[in-house]
Structure 1
């Protein structure tokens, strides 16, 4: 039997914060016709494109932390909306490169401004962006994200069910 926690667990709080943040971004970018996931794609492409990169779908998936199949689905939807172009990589015909269209870059820029304003409001309880508390919070989140997921241990008593 497990002991009851005296309060919410860190995992629960991270999950709740992630959901709150996602909903807030969804609401902020909805007037531009974007979802939070689409925002992640266009904002990432905007930044990568400004540094001269034209990433493959795989590279963008690695950059964003989204699954490659999900990035592919998002890219198709954004392409249909005229916000990005998908082209074959001349060096690897199996790979698809992504780049924002002019309209996509305009939408991405506007969305980034909206989300930056949102971040200022969401980080206000920590003193706002750039404060010592926000920097420390960011460092803690980065440490948690950098921890690799351990594969489940086979035949571990905790993961096995007894059979009658």
Structure 2
């Protein structure tokens, strides 16, 4: 096969940091979704449940806009997923006490229960997935690199 690099500076996809990151991220998300199937939750539903609980511990009241900003999720997805979580009786949406155009979000008793179960599943899946790195030092290095990237991308907006 002729080696033609018409579209990339990389001789192969596996030499591209972006491609590697994309493939690993997709596989990690696939495994998280598979592990959450037993609870009839998607990864996005889990992330939003966890963020609602986290934000309610930090600030009150928490709006859908707060949730979107903190989780990096677009408003249409927030609205759709929160509606599905509300139908499952995991989330309660109420009018904001100061601005009735806004909705505040809190977890129900059922929502906290499913969150507790799902955190255990997700953390176990994370541990199994990231244990593919050879050592704790490599896991710590990956965490530091990801945090540095996160901070430079999201804290400089």
> Are 1:123 and 1:134, in contact at CA under 8 Å, matched by a contact in 2?
yes
Q: What TM-score results when the alignment is normalised by the length of structure 2? A: 0.83
Question: Residues 1-164 of structure 1: matches in 2 within 5 Å?
Answer: 1=6, 4-7=9-12, 8=14, 9-51=16-58, 53-127=60-134, 131-148=136-153
Q: What TM-score results when the alignment is normalised by the length of structure 1? A: 0.80
Cα separation, 2, equivalents of 1:80 and 1:117: 27
Cα separation, 2, equivalents of 1:117 and 1:56: 30
Seen in structure 2, the aligned counterparts of structure 1 residues 2 and 81 have a Cα distance that, compared at 3 Å, is: closer
Deviation at 1:52, TM superposition (A): 6.0
Structure 1 unaligned blocks of 5 or more: 150-164
Deviation at 1:91, TM superposition (A): 1.7
Deviation at 1:10, TM superposition (A): 0.7
> Are 1:56 and 1:96, in contact at CA under 8 Å, matched by a contact in 2?
yes
Seen in structure 2, the aligned counterparts of structure 1 residues 99 and 127 have a Cα distance that, compared at 3 Å, is: farther
Q: Deviations over 1:93-142 (max 9, x none)?
A: 221111111001100110000001111101112257xx332222122122
* Cα RMSD (Å): 2.1
Q: Secondary structure at the match of 1:25?
A: helix
Structure 2 unaligned blocks of 5 or more: 1-5
Deviation at 1:47, TM superposition (A): 2.7
Seen in structure 2, the aligned counterparts of structure 1 residues 89 and 146 have a Cα distance that, compared at 3 Å, is: same
Deviation at 1:40, TM superposition (A): 0.6
> Are 1:89 and 1:96, in contact at CA under 8 Å, matched by a contact in 2?
yes
Task: Say how many residue pairs are matched.
Answer: 147
